Amino acid sequence: MGNFPDIEFKLGDYVEDFVNFLDEVLEPLFDLIFFISSRFIGAISDVLTWIPWWVFIILIFLLGWYFKSILSGVFYAVFIFLVGTFGLWEYLMMTISIVLTAVIICLVIGVPIGVWMAFSKGFSSVMRPILDAMQTMPSFVYLIPAIFFFGLGNVSAIFATLIYALPPVIRLTELAIRGVDPEVIESAQSFGSSRWQMLKKVQLPQALPTIMAGVNQTTMMALAMVVIASMVGAKGLGEQVLISINRIDIALGFEAGISIVFLAIIIDRVTGGVADKFQKHRRAK
């Protein structure tokens, strides 16, 4: 009585056909993306592992001291030192490499799109439901096209992370540009500033604190994908969490999990401190 009518509409079949079409037509592009991303991750990882552990800890301390307080710097340094004592130093460096790569790509893509949305209501209306879908789609679904296009490994992890972490920086960039004081814009226009000059010298500097808040959110969401991305072969701390689940290894799971927490705290506080610095600098002017 309450059964749905015997009607079938396989939307997934059309999506699969579209993905297959993209794979055939854009295969050189995907190969280029794979090459650049893998080399970029490898370069960052090589640099991080080349830095002596004690130098890296000092850098973390200095970042915490400059952007928060000397006590925060001490705590952050202790957190990183503890991760090293767990025997997870190399995995920590790989996780940082993946997160940094994802965040850099998100900024390169997201900030221009956010600016475009701020200047074009039509483009903004098209992008908003797409961003909603990107944020609400279950994270595991992103792994399927990632594997299809790039196979298993860190590049697939970057692709899946991008889809999940990109919306915040786009949304907050649009919000920041739209929120610039109209009187400031009118003043710049009265001096004959072109649209590019106004964007570069007025709107972006005024919007920078809010954009930095978007960078903070994007970075935290990229870090949140670490464990999920390990399911497509991503190395790092997330991989260790996955291994601990498969082995039911409570000790390894706790150490890898708390290491991710330590890293999340440091990234959140430092990027938040950067945003605060920009805000204070703006008020000082």
Give the range with max mean pLDDT: 5-9, 99-103, 140-144.
99-103
What is d(CA 277, CA 200) in angstroms, rounded to the nearest whole number? Answer: 20
Lowest mean pLDDT among 15-29, 64-78, 170-184, 255-269: 15-29
113: nearest Cα among 172, 193, 51: 172
Measured CA to CA, the distance from residue 269 to residue 192 in angstroms comes to: 40
Neighbours of 123 (CB within 10 A): 14
- Identify whether 70 is part of a domain: no
Is 71 a member of any domain? no
pLDDT over 80 (residue 181) = no
Is the residue at 163 inside a domain?
yes
Whether 62 is in a domain gets the answer no
Residue 94: both structure tokens together: 């790989």
| Average confidence score pLDDT of the chain | 83
What are 261-280's pLDDT values in tens digits? 999 899 888 887 877 776 66
Distances 195 to 155, 175, 202, 285 between C-alpha atoms, Å = 37, 18, 10, 23
Q: 260, 237 in Cβ contact below 8 A?
A: yes
Measured on CA atoms in the order 221, 225, 226, 229, is the torsion positive or negative? Answer: negative
Give domain status of residue 126, yes or no. Answer: yes
Q: Is the pLDDT of residue 1 over 60?
A: no
Residue 213: how many other CB atoms lie within 10 Å:
22
105 contacts 162 by C-beta, under 8 angstroms: yes
Residues 192 and 279: their CA atoms lie apart, in Å, by: 27
Q: What would the pLDDT profile of 71-108 be if each residue is shown by its tens digit? A: 989 999 999 999 999 999 999 998 998 888 888 888 88
- Is 67 inside a domain boundary? no
Q: Is the pTM of this model over 0.75?
A: yes
Residue 18 pLDDT > 90, yes or no?
no
Question: Which tokens hold the place of 128?
Answer: 């908003």
What CATH number is attached to the domain comprising 46? Answer: 1.10.3720.10
**Residue at 81 is within a domain:** no
Q: How far apart are CA 79 and CA 73, in angstroms?
A: 10
Share of the chain above pLDDT 70, in %: 93
Distance CA 7, CA 174 (A): 42
Determine the Cα–Cα distance for residues 218 and 212; give it in Å rounded to an integer: 10
Rounded to whole angstroms, the Cα distance separating 98 from 162 reads 11
Work out how many domains the chain is built from and give that number.
1
Residue 69 located in a structural domain: no
Look up the domain containing 38 and give its range.
16-50+86-284
